[in-house]
């Protein structure tokens, strides 16, 4: 079943269970190899170092976590799709995988130096709650690096890109994976997702301050960077 934009958590996790085995391959093909470049830029923004405690939320098969672990960071890769976790444990046996829902994280307050989420926030059915949970588990002054599909800035390019998303992408993915429903959902969810400045505003209301962002590939992807603000989860906080 194709999830709709209500993003029912059962349907979303089942969809990722179904695509898990071909997820990384399809990612590379459908982004024309851009995914690798996006990860390189993200890794340099995160600047992982030995001893740094990082939560990679919605880590899927761990492809977003592995570059951070390789540079010595202490990474926890959390996701709620058992299928994605199972593929990840085989692909990256050195990663620490944890089954977790973004809306109810099983971690103590102020655990991580940095939290990151790549191509995951859009799939939750409550982005505000997920951002607040991420803020809760981040140490004071810790950072978030949020990678997500966004809206290309140039109108002419945005039109071509959205046509590719809605028209060509599900067709190509059907040939490769025999199941295009996940990519129909992908296209629709990207179109409906807030643009760069709207997402920055949402972050500021959800436990983060000093939000900036960097566009990648003309704004197809944006990396938002922010610092944890005064806690939104503690009673009596003056956020």
Ligand X SMILES: C[S@@+](CC[C@H](N)C(=O)[O-])C[C@H]1O[C@@H](n2cnc3c(N)ncnc32)[C@H](O)[C@@H]1O
* Binding residues among 67-96 for ligand X as defined by CB under 6 A: 79-81, 84
Closer by beta carbon to ligand X, 99 or else 154: 99
Question: Are the C-beta atoms of residues 118 and 64 closer than 8 Å to each other?
Answer: yes
Of 16, 92, 107, 183, which lies in the binding site for ligand X, with binding defined by CB under 6 A?
16
By CB under 6 A, residue 64 contacts ligand X:
yes
Which of the ranges 6-14, 155-163, 168-176, 223-231 carries the binding residues for ligand X, by CB under 6 A? 6-14
Give 4 or 234: the residue with its C-beta nearer to ligand X: 4
In the DSSP assignment, the letter for residue 165 is I
Q: How far is the CB of 69 from ligand X (least distance, A)?
A: 14
Beta bridge partners of 57: 78, 117
CB nearer ligand X, residue 82 or residue 209: 82
Interface pick for ligand X out of 55, 59, 75, 131 (rule CB under 6 A)? 59
- Residue 224 belongs to what H/E stretch? strand 221-228
Q: Of 13, 24, 8, 18, which is closest to residue 80 (Cα–Cα)?
A: 13
Residue 219, interface with ligand X (CB under 6 A)?
Answer: no
| Cα separations in angstroms, 55 against 23, 172, 173 | 21, 33, 30
- Residue 63 contacts ligand X per CB under 6 A: yes
Sign of the Cα pseudo-torsion (28, 30, 35, 37, in order)? positive
CB of 154 to ligand X, least distance (A): 25
Handedness of CA 178, 162, 203, 125 (dihedral sign): negative
The Cα 69–Cα 49 span in angstroms is 9
Site for ligand X, residues 93 to 152, rule: CB under 6 A? 101-103, 118-120, 123-124
DSSP state of 180: -
Q: Are strands 221-228 and 208-216 parallel, antiparallel or unpaired?
A: antiparallel
Q: Give the DSSP letter of residue 72.
A: T
CB of 220 to ligand X, least distance (A): 14
Instruction: State the number of binding residues for ligand X (CB under 6 A).
Output: 21
Residue nearest to ligand X (CB): 60
8 Å CB contact between 179 and 18: yes
- Compare residues 61 and 229 and give the one whose CB is closer to ligand X: 61
Q: Which residues bind ligand X (CB under 6 A)?
A: 9, 12-13, 16, 58-60, 63-64, 79-81, 84, 101-103, 118-120, 123-124
């Amino acid at each position: 079943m194709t999830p709709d934009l209500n993003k029912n958590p059962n349907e979303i996790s089942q969809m990722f269970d179904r695509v898990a085995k071909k997820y990384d391959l399809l990612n590379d093909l459908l982004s024309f190899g851009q995914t690798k470049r996006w990860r390189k830029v993200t890794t340099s923004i995160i600047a992982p170092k030995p001893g740094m405690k990082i939560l990679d939320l919605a880590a899927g098969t761990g492809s977003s976590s592995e570059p951070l672990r390789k540079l010595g960071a202490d990474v926890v890769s959390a996701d709620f799709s058992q299928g994605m976790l199972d593929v990840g444990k085989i692909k990256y046996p050195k990663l620490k995988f944890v089954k977790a829902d973004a809306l109810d994280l099983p971690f103590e307050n102020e655990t991580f130096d940095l939290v990151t989420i790549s191509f995951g926030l859009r799939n939750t059915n409550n982005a505000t709650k997920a951002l607040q949970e991420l803020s809760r588990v981040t140490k004071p002054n810790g950072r978030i690096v949020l990678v997500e599909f966004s809206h290309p800035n140039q109108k002419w390019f945005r039109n071509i890109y959205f046509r590719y998303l809605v028209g060509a992408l599900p067709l190509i993915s059907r040939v490769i994976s025999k199941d295009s429903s996940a990519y129909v959902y992908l296209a629709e969810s990207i179109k409906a997702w807030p643009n760069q400045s709207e997402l920055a505003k949402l972050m500021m209301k959800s436990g983060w301050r000093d939000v900036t962002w960097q566009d990648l590939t003309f704004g197809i992807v944006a990396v938002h960077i922010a610092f944890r603000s005064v806690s939104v989860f503690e009673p009596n906080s003056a956020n």
